Amino acid sequence: MPTSSSGARTALSIRGIGKSYRVAGRRGSTLAETMTDWVARSRGVPPAQFTALEDVTCEVAQGEILGLVGRNGAGKSTLLKIIAGVTTPTTGSVDVYGRVGSMLEVGTGFHPELTGRENVFLNGAFLGMRRSEIRERFDEIVEFSGVEAFLDTPIKRYSSGMAVRLAFAVAAHLDADILLVDEVLAVGDQAFQEKCLGKIREVRQREGRTVLFVSHNLAAVASLCSRALLMSGGRVVADAPAPEITRLYSSGIATATTSPAVDLTTLPRAKQGAARCTRIRVGDGAIEPGSTLQLVVTIEASAPVSRALLGVEAIDEHGRPAMGISTDTADGWIDLAVGERRQVTIRLHHLQLRPGAYTLSLTLRTTTEFVDRLDAVVRFEVTPNADAGYNRWPGWPAAAYAPRFDVAIEPA
Amino acid sequence: MGCATLPFPWLLVPLPEPTVPHTAHHAEAEPFRRIRSDLARTPLDWAELWRYRDLWLTLALRDVRLRYRQTALGVAWVVLLPLLASGVFTLVFGLVARLPSDGAPYFLFVFAGFIGWSSFQNTLQRCSISLIGNTSLVTKVYFPRVMLPSASVLASLLDFAIGFTLLMLVLLVRGELPPLASLLAVPVLMLVLQVLALGLGLFAAAVAVRYRDVQYVMPFLIQLLLYASPVAYGVSVVPAHLRRFYLLNPVAPLLDGLRAALLGRGSVPWAAVGGAAIASLLILVMGTHFFLRQDRQYADVI
């Protein structure tokens, strides 16, 4: 039995894993396309390659909660898919010590036409569970998910939140030794997210299961994981305690301070929506507590978009959301025809942020779906100024948001 | 790490080391699974297939449950479809073309052939789309992929069982129930028929992942095979000098034998059935091999 340096048993031993895809002749190709591909290759044109993952080596101890942090396209999901056995690596090998349960996407393995009850069994079966094992835990699963009333309703009639809850409940209660969790916390309400985090923690603590956890929620990574990997461009760029990784990610990965404008077209995206944010410009000159911060975002549509709204969140160095706005609350709805461009100018009045570094995340969405989502697109620094209300005690109080306030102290 | 740098302190419950080491799958020194980049094909891991046996059942039951969900007539379709098809064939081949039926009423003659044929056709068709019809599973969850096509068999067998019961009831009423010895051949012939369908289906499923053309070619080929097999007519109408070639189609002796066994008329052509069985087994072995050779690419190509 291999053990890691700390003496704990190994759960995963990842050695030199790499994955590249041929770009030409991909998805849904027909025979004709393959033939032209052959012709191209016989003339010495090499097939285009895309490297999703390169030389990833890592040991994960049993009972460890390992966080994976990085931008979209950094290779986190590909790594999880390889460990799950869904896709095969092009180089390297992974030794897996235990049964792997994966939540690579919410409700994977759920069939929309089947009822909640039937889906619990189906999902369990995908994890290699016996029906009797699932039956044993069925009540526990249902109780955790809180969808008792809809057990005999087809999943297609569930809200996305309900489906996530059931999916998570199944995965968390099934007998997997290694649980792969990919961005499940992006959906579901706050209360359920906390319940999930609590469950992951409990599972690890009581049963010593190993968890690989991908999330853009840096606060969750920092609080849940003992150790994290920072990934970029398919490589592991840092392997360190989680708080250090989240600090690195929120400071190092984002583009440098207030460059006049940042091109967003080249950033990797999880999906190609009808429109995308192509450029952002942050402020002109110094950004100080109490000043006005101006953000200019350019949006370009490849398909018609109606009534979209732009959300901007500022994340502090510790990965905590510090501030957020959504244009619709100021009646800022965005309508775009094909090929049309819009420049959205947001002026944040009287910035109530403590001095420090922040990164911005952008979300372009309609009322029903996400159109474009970008994390840590730009980094800006709020510099200290003479306003003692914000910076008399650096780093304390710990919160980023520092409201203006009055205080009255009188004899009681 | 200092307290001041901790985000969301209320989420931070101290993590003591696990008290009970989880040893269920770790007692052995060998890894539970080894993922490698240097394999040309996925090995056929019988132990793993056995571990996943409940998935096979669950998938098969899912197929059965889903088939007629949200239809007005529901399960009645299982009975209605072969009745309708047999009706049409009887009209065209029995009443208009007046082909012989070895003494049985033409409708029953066709029906007995059709339930066998439809079990073959259903397995083949469902197998061929089993991967491309479950794209999200193939790209997101791990399980032995062979489970998807092979699970199609159960639904086909269930349909056959219903058709079989119906046929036996009718024969019982008519007082023409075949002897037990004759019925004993039915499971053997059905087994070979399903082995053949699954073998061909594995090829089709693997090819369909890369070439969606399969979706369009399959129905045409199946139609062609239907007319090249004794379903709507009996083998006796095939000219004697062509019969040797006719029986090269492994489906032909199987359906001919199945009809003979079901109706208790005529005899099962065991020599030709034996040949078909060997061919079917070979096709299954090759189909499985082919399917596993492509296995490593499914998630990337689909």
- Provide the chain A residues 299-338 that lie in CB contact (below 8 A) with chain B: 318-320
Closest Cα in chain A, distance from residue B223 (Å): 23
Q: What is the pLDDT of residue A66?
A: 92
Q: Which residue of A has its CA nearest to B21?
A: A208
CA end-to-end span of chain A: 68
CB contact under 8 A, A100 and B17: no
Q: Which residue of A has its CA nearest to B1?
A: A243
The strand pair at A334-336 and A10-22 is best described as: unpaired
Q: What is the pLDDT of residue B223?
A: 93
CB contact under 8 A, A318 and B5: yes
**A chain contacts of residue B210, beta-carbon cutoff 8 Å:** 29, 34
The strand pair at A100-103 and A178-182 is best described as: parallel
Q: Is any Cβ of chain B less than 8 angstroms from the Cβ of A1?
A: yes
Q: Is any Cβ of chain B less than 8 angstroms from the Cβ of A82?
A: yes
**B chain contacts of residue A31, beta-carbon cutoff 8 Å:** 211, 213
Contact B203, B284 (CB under 8 A): no
Q: What is the pLDDT of residue B186?
A: 95
DSSP per-residue codes, chain B: --GGG-S-GGG----PPPSS---TTTSSSS-SEEEESS-SS----HHHHHHTHHHHHHHHHHHHHHHTTT-SSTTHHHHHHHHHHHHHHIIIIIIIS----TTS-HHHHHHHHHHHHHHHHHHHHHHHTTTGGGHHHHHH--S-TTHHHHTHHHHHHHHHHHHHHHHHHHHHHHT-PPPHHHHTHHHHHHHHHHHHHHHHHHHHHHHHHH-THHHHHHHHHHHHHHHTSTTSS-GGGS-HHHHHHHTTSTHHHHHHHHHHHHHT-S---HHHHHHHHHHHHHHHHHHHHHHHHHGGGHHHH-
- Cα–Cα distance list, B248 to A165, A383, B228 (Å): 55, 85, 10
Q: Which residue of A has its CA nearest to B5?
A: A318
**A chain contacts of residue B20, beta-carbon cutoff 8 Å:** 206-208
**A chain contacts of residue B135, beta-carbon cutoff 8 Å:** none
Closest Cα in chain A, distance from residue B30 (Å): 7
Q: Which of A63, A49, A62 is nearest to A20 (CA)?
A: A49
A336 forms beta bridges with A305
Q: Is A409 exposed, middle or buried (0-12, 13-18, 19+ CB in 10 A)?
A: exposed
Given a cut of 50, is residue B233 above it in pLDDT? yes
The rounded mean pLDDT for chain B is 85
E-assigned strand segments in chain B: 33-36
Distance CA A381, CA B165 (A): 78
For residue A371, what are the contacts with CB-CB under 8 A and spacing of at least 6? A273, A274, A275, A276, A305, A308, A364, A365
Q: What is the pLDDT of residue B274?
A: 95
Q: What is the pLDDT of residue B160?
A: 94
Q: Among residues of chain B, what percentage have pLDDT more than 70?
A: 90
DSSP-derived 3-state class of residue A343 = strand
Residue B225 — very low, low, confident or very high, per pLDDT cuts 50/70/90?
A: very high
- Shortest CB distance from A320 goes to which of B7, B65, B296? B7
Reading chain A (412 residues) residue by residue, the pLDDT tens digits are 454 444 568 889 999 999 988 765 444 456 666 666 666 666 666 666 778 888 899 999 988 889 998 877 788 888 998 998 888 899 999 999 888 887 766 666 778 888 888 888 888 888 777 888 889 989 988 888 888 888 898 888 888 778 878 887 887 777 678 888 887 665 556 677 777 778 777 777 777 788 898 887 777 888 888 899 988 888 888 888 888 888 777 765 544 444 567 788 877 776 778 899 998 988 777 788 888 888 999 999 999 999 999 999 998 877 778 899 999 998 989 999 998 999 999 998 888 888 878 888 899 998 888 888 888 788 888 877 766 566 666 666 777 888 878 888 988 8
- Mean pLDDT is lowest, of A99-108, A332-341, B48-57, B107-116, for A99-108
**B chain contacts of residue A105, beta-carbon cutoff 8 Å:** 136, 140
**B chain contacts of residue A202, beta-carbon cutoff 8 Å:** none
Centroid of chain to Cα A118: 29
- Shortest CB distance from A111 goes to which of B13, B62, B299? B62
Structure tokens at A394: 């650096």
CB contact under 8 A, A85 and B33: yes
For residue A7, what are the contacts with CB-CB under 8 A and spacing of at least 6? none
Residue to test with chain A: of B36, B37, B71, B214, most A Cβ within 10 A: B37
- Shortest CB distance from A94 goes to which of B35, B57, B70? B35
**A chain contacts of residue B211, beta-carbon cutoff 8 Å:** 29-31
Q: What is the pLDDT of residue B18?
A: 44
- pLDDT tens per residue, range B12-33: 444 444 444 444 444 446 778 8
Closest Cα in chain B, distance from residue A210 (Å): 10
Residue count of chain B = 302
**A chain contacts of residue B22, beta-carbon cutoff 8 Å:** 62-63, 177, 207-209
- Shortest CB distance from B54 goes to which of A21, A82, A125? A125
Query: CA torsion sign, A378 to A383 to A387 to A389?
Result: positive
DSSP per-residue codes, A250-306: IIIISBPTT-S-EE-TTS--SS--SEEEEEEEE-SS---TTS-EEEEEEEEESS-EE
CB contact under 8 A, A105 and B4: no
Q: What is the pLDDT of residue A4?
A: 44
CB contact under 8 A, B142 and A29: no
Closest Cα in chain A, distance from residue B291 (Å): 15
Determine the average pLDDT of the residues in B179-196: 95
Closest Cα in chain B, distance from residue A91 (Å): 5
Distance CA B272, CA B154 (A): 26
What pTM, to 2 d.p., does this model score?
0.71
Determine the average pLDDT of the residues in B186-211: 95
Q: Is any Cβ of chain B less than 8 angstroms from the Cβ of A55?
A: no
Contact A224, A78 (CB under 8 A): no
**A chain contacts of residue B139, beta-carbon cutoff 8 Å:** 86-87
Q: What ipTM does the predicted assembly reach?
A: 0.75
**B chain contacts of residue A111, beta-carbon cutoff 8 Å:** 62, 66
- Shortest CB distance from B34 goes to which of A93, A241, A320? A93
Q: Is any Cβ of chain B less than 8 angstroms from the Cβ of A114?
A: yes
Contact A150, A116 (CB under 8 A): yes
Distance CA B83, CA B167 (A): 11
Q: Which residue of B has its CA nearest to A90?
A: B37
Structure tokens at B49: 């297939």
Structure tokens at B266: 């005529």
CB contact under 8 A, A223 and B51: no
- Shortest CB distance from A128 goes to which of B24, B52, B69? B52
Distance CA A322, CA A356 (A): 11
Q: Which residue of B has its CA nearest to A182?
A: B140
Distance CA B1, CA B3 (A): 7
